[in-house]
Amino acid sequence: MSEQSLAIRKFSDLANPTRFLALSAIVWPWMAAITALFFAVGLYLCFMSVGDYQQGETVRIMYVHVPAAWLSMMCYSVMAASALGTLVWRHPLADVSAKTAAPIGACFTFIALITGSLWGKPMWGTWWVWDARLTSVFVLFLMYLGLIALNRAVDDPARAAKVSAILILVGFVNIPIIKFSVEWWNTLHQPASVIRLDGPTIDPEFLWPLLVMAIAFTLLFFTLHILAMRNEILRRRVATLRRLAARSAGYGEASR
């Protein structure tokens, strides 16, 4: 057996739902504890840092708004990778991953939209403008809701997985549009000040709380994603067992 096929086999062994349940049961409490620790340090830094000389106290909204916006895009990227896993490798957990990431992504996008609006009113003088960045993030939110609705509308998980995987990959075109919208179009939303080719232009006073909060949000996403995946595996097991019970009851009646 070649080294590559051995590596693939090792990976698919890990992706076995039973093994995933066993492994995740050990991992998630640790992840939850580390997430809580990062949030404690992050929130302390958020409120201990000084206000901005122009924005005053409202700069603190950034520590929630920016990580939530990053996560809204990262979550969709995780879904796109999972969609590839469903369509190309028919990975048993890929569909579970894509399906369970959608509600979490929708929540992070909702937080980004709400906190952005609450930051926009005092700084821009308006709750909302239909500029390229805000509109593309709003489209992302609608896409999350659409994918959740689609998964709930189709009874057969295998069929729902295929259709939603195609939709997720088509919708992925929105992610670079969100990222570069502030450069391609004239937007009220400011251009990137952290993830830039020439390095962050933001002062370390604001950068550190932002980075710690970003790590906390990322850990929160992965912890909740693992737990939601565990729930989805159990949901499918329950459905299988109920089908099995119904079938054996049917045989019992037929043999009478």
Partner 1 sequence: MSHAAYVAASYGAALLTVAGLILWVWLDGRARRRELAALEAAGIRRRSAGEAK
For residues 98 and 148, give the distance between their C-alpha atoms in angstroms, rounded to a whole number: 10
Least CB distance to partner 1 at residue 59 (A): 9
Closer by beta carbon to partner 1, 64 or else 134: 64
Least CB distance to partner 1 at residue 3 (A): 30
Contact 164, 94 (CB under 8 A): no
Name which of 175, 149, 4, 159 is nearest 77 in CA terms.
175
Touching partner 1, residues 44-103 (CB under 8 A): 56-58, 60-61, 64-65, 68, 103
Contact 137, 109 (CB under 8 A): yes
Q: Is 158 in the site for partner 1 (CB under 8 A)?
A: no
Q: Is 167 in the site for partner 1 (CB under 8 A)?
A: no
Contact 58, 119 (CB under 8 A): yes
Go through 218-230 and write b for each residue having 16 or more CB atoms within 10 A of its CB, e for each that does not: bbbbbbbbbbbbb
Q: Is 234 in the site for partner 1 (CB under 8 A)?
A: yes
Least CB distance to partner 1 at residue 104 (A): 7
Residue 151's contacts (CB-CB under 8 Å, 6 or more residues apart) are 99, 102, 160, 164
Q: Is 189 in the site for partner 1 (CB under 8 A)?
A: no
Q: Is 203 in the site for partner 1 (CB under 8 A)?
A: no
Contact 81, 172 (CB under 8 A): no
Least CB distance to partner 1 at residue 70 (A): 14
Least CB distance to partner 1 at residue 230 (A): 7
Q: Is 193 helix (H, G, I), strand (E, B) or coil?
A: coil
Of 19, 121, 152, 159, the residue at the interface with partner 1 (CB under 8 A) is 121
Contact residues: partner 1, CB under 8 A: 18, 56-58, 60-61, 64-65, 68, 103-104, 107, 110-111, 114-115, 118-119, 121-122, 220, 224, 227-228, 230-231, 234-235, 237-238, 240-242, 244-245
